[in-house]
Structure 1
Amino acid sequence: MATSHTSEAFTRKRAFARKLTAASFATALATTLTLSLSGGFSPAYATAAPEAPASESAAAESAAPETGAAEAAELAVVVNEVESNGDDTDWVEFGNPSGQAVDLTGYIFTDNEPTKAGHTYVLPEGSVVPSNGFFVLDQAQGSTPGFDFGLGKDDSVNLYAPPAEGESVEDAIAKDPVLTYSWTSHAAITYGRCPDFTGEMIDTFASTKGAANQCEEPPAEPSESADPSDPSTPAPLSPSAWPGGQTVKPLHDADEARGDWSGLFWEAAGAFGSDKPYLWVAENGNGTLLRLDGTEANRGAELQTFTLKYADGTGTPDAEAVTRAAGAPNSIFVGTERDNSKKGTSRPSVLAFTTPSIDDADGELKAAKEWNLAPDFPGLGANSGIEGLTWVPDSWLVENKIHDDSTGKPYDPSAYPAHHGGVFAVGIEGTGHVYLYVLNEDGGFQRIADIETGLDVVAEVLFDAHRSQLWAICDDACEGRIAVLTPEAGADTASETHAATDADKKVSARSATTQSADDAAVELAVSQVLNRPSETQNYANEGFAIADMSQCKDGALPVFYADDNNTDDVSLREGTLTTKCPTEQPPVEEAPSEDAPSEAPSNPAPSSPAPSTPVPDNAAVTTPGSGSTDAGANTGGGDLARTGADVNSWMMLAAAAMLVGGALTLALRRKHGRATR
């Protein structure tokens, strides 16, 4: 029985999608402990279904399949529910509508890669699906047994009959599976049969592991509205339209072998000694780092690919994010969730590698340093860790007096050992928060801020020194929205975003930390939420980057999206951000012609120097930290909202031009008068 399913993106379900918090992990752990203490724990467990109507029971009893190693045609079991939502607690539920228990001991469970090492699991003794009930097979968790591979976005579950006498597991999986179910994207919640046992697989409305499926939307629970008198209660933020082009275009042919692309980092020409722009990509499936061409003529072309390893040369880092830092010009930093060779164990680490030269051949890169942040995230799921990483210079934090949670005062870099001249903003998928970390060069670390984004998932983070903003990007779990974080007390800074419209000024920002009034520390807060471009699909964009201003053209700046789902066989797309491009120097006024009078006009124009290059609109506003540019910070893009240009300079120039024009006219009239006398 082969079925396939493509998930519908129901808006009302997205709030449930991939909300991978420590609390959810704790719930799963509590379930495990309960089963263990009851004496019946195994990598799977069975439950009986509610009593079926008499007609259904009669039909089930008439089927009466055999137990044990039944032939494929006689196996009464069905795939009844599947959880595949991006975490490391996947599971599959088998349902048995018959009147007899079915023993699956010895059957072989796999995903869509049965021949890949570690992707087969032989069901142990006692794997029995009760009559009119359910049997759940779990993913392994630490020392808890189960299948030791995840169920991916575009994947399947397959059940093969046990090997015949004299056959191996390899022989058995070379045959057709007795049960199979496939899907093309992660479930918003779960995929389940509606009705149980016999219906089609659909998006369910609740996860019902080991119980009857939730096939209808449950009644909405009364919600508590925000209390306007309580300043600690944030008001909801209304998303604004994407301030740029509403379409995107692929940056490579669909037949190119790509996929699992996650983090992005734009390296401007001249930064870190580079002779042209590059786009760095973190790929999480095989743990690789790619350098792409950033020039307009060849943008997106792969130049180099490096396989990442931990410092001891082992493992497969689940590379999810990449950034560079001006304070460490010879290094490139990669954010990881886990070691893919040990998928069940959380390892939320930042790895530092020596940046390869553009002339280096492809090969392995061993980490020079690792900061494993696991002690700060107890209970975090193995696939719920670091998804975003960006470097923020000390100068910006100091000028904005960003609050340091560890000291209760404005951030002071001198309080820490050498730390790359800045802090790292780390986006954690499972909590939906962004955390600021000081990563000491000696291997130590200190968290200085825990920033609430209001997003279900943080898939990427980006610090933009040009706009003095920190962006938190969500993927398809919350429709590709972006939360723009700014210093809460910096009114001028906040005015640079579209949040400064009359409508958005009524919105209360979500506070990130507790402000210290005594020390005048400044909070980071969400000042605006941006929608994805309106004419694009809800891609699984786990990477986002903005090009620098040298790439600005026709009032638009390139932005880049990495689609981890490789939708339509495309992993990298380009869009635009509307901005004010730098203008060329205006033409210098030509010298008077030979016909111009030699004498000075009666009302000479005041002398003034030649006009300089006009100041772009986006440079007219001075924001904290914008006085200097750091190579490791993204400096792309004009402001999301445009301010006035240097009006006085242009008015003086216009006045001078009018005076010169009047003088020329008067001179010509005098000359004409002398010629006709």
Structure 2
Amino acid sequence: MCAAALTFSGLVVTGLVAAQPAAAADPAGYQNVRINEVTSSNNDTVELYNTGSTAVSISGWKMSDDGFSPQSFSPSSTTIAAGGFVTFNSPKGLGDSDKLVIYTADGTVVDRVEWATNGAKPAMARCGGDGTGAWVTAATATTFGAANAPGCPSSIPAASRVRINEVASNGSDTVELYNGGTTAVGIGSWKYVDGDTTHTPVSISSSSPSATSIPAGGYVTFNSTLGLGDNDSVFLLDGNGSTVDSVTWATDGAKPSDERCANGTGRFQTAVTATLGSANSCSGSGGGGGGGQTGQLLGGGGALTSGCTPEAPSGTGSTPSGTLAWPGGPDVTIADNVCAFTTSTGPEGRDVSGLAFDPANPTVLWAAKNKNWLYKLVKSNGKWVPDATWSATGKQIRFAGGTGEPDSEGLTVGANGHVYVTSERDNTHNTVPKDTIMEFDPAATGSTLTPVHQWDMTAQFPQLDTGSKDDANLGFEGVGYVPDSWLTANGWADPLTGSAYNPANYPLHGSGLFFAGLEWDGSLHVYGLNSDGTFTTFGTIATGKVSVMDVMFDAGTSRIVATCDNTCGETHTFLKVDAAGAVVPDVTYTNPAVMPTDNLEGFAIAPTSTCVNGFREAVFSDDGIQGFGNGSSSYGHAVYSGTFPC
């Protein structure tokens, strides 16, 4: 995982080695391979990443720097899996100020980059998406063979939000740039160059004199005076010669055009119709140029049953500045049956909120339904369905004493295997907050569960007790169990003592603490839940987001994850313990681009023990089963399944 402290490096693309003409033997998908990380210290290691959806053979590929002609190298594998990484050590070494060019076996340029003095020490890595993001210099760590994103800074300079968005090599040889940032970017001194390494970079202004700046969310187009052909590339350089973005395509890949899907962020694909100067249509096929991801929403179907009423999303807000693209695979599968969660207290078949994998048995996924139901889900034919041996229709939960209807929102699994569920209020008195954490023993018999223990924190949140059901509904939306071992190993400072956290000071709390997410303001509240029914409050943590809908601890990334739905642009903030011992935001990701923008309130990542080919499952739940709306394949579904790096 990259270190948090990063500085931007200077990258210059000049004087490159001449490329050979493209040959038919270039492997399928070669244009999707990108240089992803480089170090010019220790073993002079290079990492390549495959942004495409199919594996790519790199057998016989070569590399050069600024001091030697193309040389063979020995990769960790001669094939790069889709979304996978391959590393190798430079056969001739890499210097303090150097460059790197990657070629196919037949001499076609695949990708290239150059760095200034010490720019690749300890490493230089792409930030903002593996294979696509801006280059940064890591301060203390490298991530060879794994995703770069966790160590990226929270804010990327405005110029790095400019992306090559569409390219046409059909005679006009037009390039479209898109500014995905929130401020205009001056490009009067910027240049471009194609895949012929004998060519000198050309200024954009000489090709399009009016192209002096790109407004926020705007486009600029220019015609390449270098010409663009089959098996070619475009490299975009800023006024200092630093690499901003690049795209490479195979034969006919840019005819009529090669376009990013999604617009400004996704992987390139061949378009059906060119849309130069406006948003991309994204109606073409995959397999175009490298430099991003596009995905498919798979599955669905089935008619809505009587009484199943999807709810349109509400409260959509903007995505926070500095948010990074989803680091997992681009494809997402609809992973439940249509209208699967209808119950006697919620016949509309919606309101599935919290999700949590059982760490001891990751074939089990627990789900909380707002109207006081708990589900034990297992996989069947690729879908998450209720475990019939536990309950085919879920189990109803009550507050202590067997009363009320908890507005159950979040859940987590403790070290004892019990399921801990949060509630914002009692649905039978929905204008009054009741912010509680309830402990349930899933081995208990019967169709209704009552808590083994219950902890009531309502008095800590007087701002929710206004007599309004809307305010009462902004309480504990999620909860995550965080092991003491992680807190102590990472040097968490106990807010109550001001010194390193010592679990022995709290003998009744078990072996971990519980981080509850407050929807009201996006804060996390840390508790020790004692076996005598009391609790210890360890204070509040700011997530940097206006709201929180789910909370989890992920041992794979060694991070606490706070999820926000469309209120915050469908994002997941990973939090770490910093050098001062405080839990702070580290990096924020969006959902996969193909996901609907709905009230997606549940999020869970499977343990790393489930990893296959470098990925594990990530699951999302839709509180309103709206999908993309009436008539869409996702309408009436609550659970979605994607992938996240191991």
The TM-score, its normalising length taken from structure 1, stands at 0.44
- TM-score (structure 2 length as normaliser): 0.46
Q: Name the structure with the higher helix share.
A: 1
Task: Mark the structure with the bigger radius of gyration.
Answer: 1
